[in-house]
Amino acid sequence: ETGVTQTPRHLVMGMTNKKSLKCEQHLGHNAMYWYKQSAKKPLELMFVYNFKEQTENNSVPSRFSPECPNSSHLFLHLHTLQPEDSALYLCASSLEDSVGGELFFGEGSRLTVL
Amino acid sequence: AQTVTQSQPEMSVQEAETVTLSCTYDTSESDYYLFWYKQPPSRQMILVIRQEAYKQQNATENRFSVNFQKAAKSFSLKISDSQLGDAAMYFCAYRSVYGGSQGNLIFGKGTKLSVKP
């Protein structure tokens, strides 16, 4: 049973829609991450939050907007997306931002942009 | 910049047999961490095994072991006595110890492992 829960598991949206992905962790972790997983490509780190503060933004387009209201919750707000944004979006968490630590992943939100 | 290469997009193994998944990486750093993550179909990605570069001894976790060749920059994963539940995508990942976020793992493209009964 995963300690990182993502909702929704599947999302289909048009290019003009606004939607949000939600991630919740019950592990007492302080760091949370959004990754994008596309077919036949390595996982791409999008955003990192440590103690609710954003510490990384890997040149992600502004149509993706993260929000971290507390250490247990992470959102990814989506608006005016493009078909190439269709992918599996993975949330992960870890115990602080320590070297060599394990990331705990959610099951992902499969996004399809029409 | 560091890179991670998994040269086998797909692999297949007979149940109870042994299989080795390849991973090579490129770095100019001397200290780092290497990981193997497993992603079963429609399930969350989980850590299989972790290796610290300064440790010469190969990491082992039950049926999973690695062959870490630092000079060759190779980090292969051996799965012994393969089970049906081992079927998954396997990702090799690298992380520098110098600065940056823990989430800044550099992943390979993955190897899809099938297990035949």
pLDDT digits (tens, 9 = 90+) for A69-82: 998 999 999 999 99
Q: How many CB atoms lie within 10 A of CB B73?
A: 17
Question: Each residue of B29-80: pLDDT tens digit?
Answer: 888 999 999 999 888 899 999 999 998 899 999 999 999 999 999 999 999 9
**Residue carrying structure tokens 């990486």:** B25
Peptide linkage before A83 cis (omega within 30 of 0): no
Q: Does B104 touch chain A (CB under 8 A)?
A: yes
Position with higher pLDDT, B111 vs B102: B111
Contacts of B50 in chain A (CB under 8 A): 100, 102
List the single residue in B43, B44, B104 with the smallest CB-CB distance to A45: B104
Q: What is the pLDDT of residues B71-99, one digit of tens each?
A: 999 999 999 999 999 999 999 999 887 75
* CA–centroid distance for A60 within its chain: 12
What confidence score (pLDDT) does residue B19 get? 98
Decide if A103 and B52 are in contact by the 8 Å CB cutoff: no
CB A112 within 8 A of CB A21: no
